[in-house]
Amino acid sequence: MSGSWNDFNGAKNNANLIPKGTLAKVRLTIRPGGFDDPAQGWTGGYATRGSTGSVYLSGEFTVLEGPYARRKVFSLIGLYSPNGPNWANMGRSLVRGILNSARGISDKDNSPEAQAARRINGFGDLDGIEFVARIDIGSDTNGDDKNEIRGAVTPDHRDYASLMGAAPRPTPAAPAQPSAAPQAPTGAPGRPSWAQ
């Protein structure tokens, strides 16, 4: 045992922060705030309206694997600020990154399929979504350090496949020989698996 139980000057500070820049697969849970604005498409009670008039999604991001598994990071996803569009634009960028990461879409891909993958029916589509996050360190309302999620890692990143648990894309091979029995389709024709 190190140190005495009546003198705690030599005890380590228990900041308990995940190091800045850590990449981890996370699951987003939206903590409902009960605020709806159907004109904006904010329905289902997912949005929260703060005392300053700002509107946001209150996100709880649970690390799913690795040395920080089961740890939670709490971050807000901005939807509206009375101070201007910057916070909402940062929120939209984060959601775009989350969708790209969760659905395996390169940020550079502007195909019709990629554009469809970046659309949601409502905030309920984000509740429970799993993606690779870049964990950052910000400040809470008291000025103390806290972990935040400000960005998502897309398939363009070299560590994406191993973190997401996806097998690397196979290299093109010679055409397969036809088999005797046809294989049943795995999903609806022309629809990616995430849209099933």
CA distances from 36 to 42, 43, 88, 173, 186 (A): 5, 5, 16, 51, 37
Give the pLDDT of residue 14.
60
Give the pLDDT of residue 22.
96
By the 8 A CB rule, do 16 and 146 touch?
no
Beta bridge partners, 42, equal 37
pLDDT tens readout for residues 39-91: 999 999 999 999 999 999 999 999 999 999 999 999 999 999 999 999 999 99
pTM over 0.85: no
By the 8 A CB rule, do 105 and 114 touch?
yes
Give the pLDDT of residue 2.
58
Binned at pLDDT 50, 70 and 90, residue 27 comes out as very high
Give the pLDDT of residue 74.
96
Give the pLDDT of residue 9.
79
Q: Give the three-state DSSP class for 45.
A: strand
* Whether pLDDT at 139 is above 70: yes
Dmax (CA) for the chain in angstroms is 78
Q: What is the 3-state secondary structure (H, E, C) of 123-141?
A: HHHCCCCEEEEEEEEEECC
By the 8 A CB rule, do 26 and 130 touch?
yes
Count of other CB atoms within 10 angstroms of residue 28: 23
Average pLDDT, the chain: 85
- Range list of H helices, the chain: 86-103, 112-117, 160-164
Between 29 and 16, the more confident residue is 29
pLDDT tens readout for residues 153-163: 999 999 999 99
Binned at pLDDT 50, 70 and 90, residue 15 comes out as low
Distant-in-sequence, close-in-space partners of 96: CB < 8 Å, separation ≥ 6: 107, 118
| Cα four-point dihedral sign 39, 40, 41, 45 | negative
Q: Give the three-state DSSP class for 31.
A: strand
The mean pLDDT value for 114-130 works out to 96
